């Protein structure tokens, strides 16, 4: 007979931003006894490597609504969640080639309709926002003045603390090996700490969600894509803190990192190296680092002398349509999933917590319809398609003169 300490009403698997947000929201909704299981530590997986950009620009209304909910939480994080998130408002600027101007204008109009402060501008109209970018190749921009970035580890620790304060039991060092669901009904999980019983299980374990669902014969089509991040020290004459810039022309994004550095990554989440060794911290790819630094220097005037400060890599759990997989898993009563965030899960985590916890207790979220993100959409040929689409951003290769050291 199982001990009471290993019995719960709901088990949440995963101590990243999604799992901790879900656990906290479950406690707020009086979902019963909630236990969160994490095999290493809070924010020790993909979350800890997140660029943590808080922006609302999406080509699909549901995703923009979810991101807007997240932004509003981050704006009042200490008041709503408690603790720190490290949110810093910088603004978010998207650069488009001329061919994408019509779609960008339509997306910005959709954003404004649902309450986002999004402004579409021509190539010659944003000098007052950011005058330091090169602009001969820019066809249009979208500007979000309220967006910014946060600290992923601080945020997730705060979610975890809020969950514990609301009654959630968090157990680290517990690795889940198998989901137990005889007769099509979840009954618990098998772990390195024995068997835990629960009538409801939420799996929010990033790419490892795929492995756990496979123990029940369920295919979750995820690819683990490793991406490189480079951080450069800007020149001393750069000037005031820049906004976050998503450069859909050169295929990179540039995010302030502290007061004097810029973090650089690739816009294309699906383009990377498949690497199932997702738990291992690995350095960035040398050629990719060179390419990122070169693109930064190409976009920002006077930054040919910017120096590489450090680099690293992280892994995205990419779904076939690059959109999340959320909600109940058809065919297994009591089983829920939150995975496949494809590089944009952090900003959505406040919304995911609310949406998943609502689904667990039988309520419908007002943020977005969780049924849109159903796992079985792939087998049914109902992938999520953006209402406003852009041409794939390029992934340039470094020139022979690219810098090899800082």
**Does residue 330 fall inside a structural domain?**
no
Helical H runs in 183-248?
208-214
**Does residue 276 fall inside a structural domain?**
yes
More confident residue, 393 or 222: 222
Q: Are the CB atoms for 66 and 351 separated by under 8 Å?
A: yes
The kind and range of the H/E element at 77 are helix 77-80
Q: What is the span of the domain harbouring residue 262?
A: 89-147+223-315
Q: Are the CB atoms for 145 and 75 separated by under 8 Å?
A: no
Q: How far apart are CA 374 and CA 368, in angstroms?
A: 13
Residue 219's closest CA among 303, 337, 101?
Answer: 337
**Does residue 376 fall inside a structural domain?**
no
375-384 pLDDT tens trace: 999 999 999 9
Helical H runs in 188-331?
208-214, 286-299
**Does residue 392 fall inside a structural domain?**
no
The CATH number covering residue 308 comes to 3.30.9.10
Burial status of residue 199 (CB atoms within 10 A of its CB: 0-12, 13-18, 19 or more): middle
**Does residue 273 fall inside a structural domain?**
yes
Supply angle C-alpha 9, 10, 12, rounded to 5: 160
Q: What's the confidence (pLDDT) of residue 395?
A: 61
With the CA atoms of 73, 77, 82 and 88 taken in that order, what torsion angle do they form, in degrees rounded to the nearest 10? 150
**Does residue 361 fall inside a structural domain?**
no
100-147 pLDDT tens trace: 999 999 999 999 999 999 999 999 899 899 999 999 999 999 999 999
- 88-89, strands of its sheet edge to edge: 53-54, 148-149, 88-89
Predicted confidence (pLDDT) at residue 202 exceeds the cutoff of 70: yes
**Does residue 384 fall inside a structural domain?**
no
The model's confidence at residue 400, banded by pLDDT at 50, 70 and 90, is very low
**Does residue 311 fall inside a structural domain?**
yes
Domain count, the chain: 1
Residue 141, C-beta contacts closer than 8 angstroms, at least 6 positions apart: 93, 94, 95, 96, 104, 120, 121, 122, 123, 125, 126, 129
């Amino acid at each position: 007979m199982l001990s009471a300490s290993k019995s719960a009403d709901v088990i949440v698997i995963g101590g990243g931003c999604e799992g901790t947000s879900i656990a906290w929201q479950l406690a707020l909704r009086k979902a019963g006894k909630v236990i969160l299981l994490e095999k290493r530590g809070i924010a020790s997986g993909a979350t800890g490597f997140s660029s943590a950009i808080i922006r609302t620009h999406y080509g699909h209304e549901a995703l923009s609504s979810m991101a807007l909910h997240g932004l509003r939480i981050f704006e009042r994080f200490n008041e709503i969640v408690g603790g720190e998130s490290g949110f810093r408002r910088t603004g978010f600027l998207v650069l488009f080639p001329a061919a994408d101007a019509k779609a960008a204008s339509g997306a910005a109009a959709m954003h404004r309709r649902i309450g986002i402060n999004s402004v579409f501008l021509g190539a010659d109209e944003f000098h007052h926002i950011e005058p330091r970018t090169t602009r001969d190749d820019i066809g249009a921009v979208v500007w979000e003045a309220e967006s910014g970035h946060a600290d992923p580890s601080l945020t997730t620790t705060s979610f975890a603390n809020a969950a514990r304060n609301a009654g959630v039991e968090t157990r680290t060092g517990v690795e889940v090996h198998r989901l137990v669901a005889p007769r099509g009904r979840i009954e618990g999980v098998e772990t390195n700490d024995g068997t835990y019983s629960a009538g409801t299980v939420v799996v929010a374990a990033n790419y490892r969600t795929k492995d756990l669902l496979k123990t029940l014969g369920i295919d979750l089509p995820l690819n683990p894509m490793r991406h490189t991040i480079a951080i450069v020290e800007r020149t001393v004459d750069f000037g005031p803190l820049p906004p976050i810039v998503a450069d859909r022309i050169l295929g990179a994004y540039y995010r302030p990192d502290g007061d004097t550095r810029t973090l650089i990554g690739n816009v294309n989440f699906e383009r990377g190296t498949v690497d199932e060794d997702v738990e291992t911290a690995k350095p960035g790819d040398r050629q990719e680092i060179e390419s990122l630094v070169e693109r930064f220097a190409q976009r920002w005037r006077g930054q040919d002398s910017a120096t590489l400060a450090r680099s690293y890599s992280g892994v995205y759990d990419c779904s076939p349509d690059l959109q999340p997989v959320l909600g109940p898993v058809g065919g297994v009563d009591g089983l829920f999933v939150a995975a496949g965030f494809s590089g944009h899960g952090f900003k959505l985590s406040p919304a995911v917590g609310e949406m998943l916890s609502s689904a667990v207790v039988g309520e419908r979220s007002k943020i977005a319809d969780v049924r849109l993100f159903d796992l079985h959409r792939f087998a049914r040929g109902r992938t999520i398609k953006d209402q406003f689409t852009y041409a794939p951003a390029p992934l340039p290769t470094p020139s022979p003169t690219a810098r090899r050291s800082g």
